[in-house]
Structure formats: structure tokens, C-alpha cells
Copies of this chain bind each other. A is one copy, B any other.
Amino acid sequence: MTQSAQHVHEHLYGKDKEVLLKRMRRIEGQARGIQKMIEEDRYCPEIIQQLTAMVRAGKEVSLLLLQDHIEGCVTDEIKHNHGGKMIPELIGVVRRTMRT
């Protein structure tokens, strides 16, 4: 059933859900901190350094989600349906993530 499959998938990054949310809240805080730096006319290289840290944190969240996705949905799909459309989709995700 699609429904039960979805139910399973829903929980596949469940183990990392709190970690993911915590990291995203920190990124939100970084975005606010950078606004404050701009408002205070801080030196460009210092602001860029904070942006770099924020961007890196965002990429780390992508990587964690990607890992959960491969260990969860992709592994599941390969076991039951030889991967199907999920492999080209995964390649697309990896490609875009790497190019970011």
C-alpha cells in the first residue's frame, strides 16, 4: 500500500529529526545574526565569514538528510523494486547538492 509505505518513510529520518530541527534553528539564528551585522555596518570579510559558516551548516544538513534518504527510502526501494525511479532521482539530488 502506498499509505503504509509512506507511513514507513515518514519515520525514516525520525531518528535524526531532533538533530535536524536543532541545526535548522541554529541556521535561522545565524541568518538573524548576519542581518544584525549588516545593520551595524560591520566589515565585509567578517560578514562573509559568518555567511560561509551558515552555508556550511546548511550543506551539512543536506548531507545528513541524504544519508538518511539512502539508508531509508533508497535501500527500501532497491530491496523491493530494484531501485526503480529512485536511483535516477538520487543521482539528481547528489548532482545538485554537489554543485551548490
Residue numbers of A with Cβ under 8 A of B are 9-14, 17, 20-21, 24-25, 27-28, 31-32, 34-35, 38-39, 41, 43-45, 47-49, 51-52, 54-56, 58-59, 61-63, 65-75, 78-79, 82-83, 87-91, 93-100
CB distance from A30 to the nearest CB of B (A): 8
Number of identical protomers: 4
Separation of A22 and B28 alpha carbons in the complex (Å): 15
Q: State A94–B41 Cα separation when bound (angstroms).
A: 20
Task: Report if A91-B63 is in contact (Cβ < 8 Å); known contacts: A58-B51, A96-B49.
Answer: yes
A99 to chain B: which residues have CB within 8 Å?
59, 99-100
Q: Contact between B98 and A98 (Cβ–Cβ < 8 Å)?
A: yes
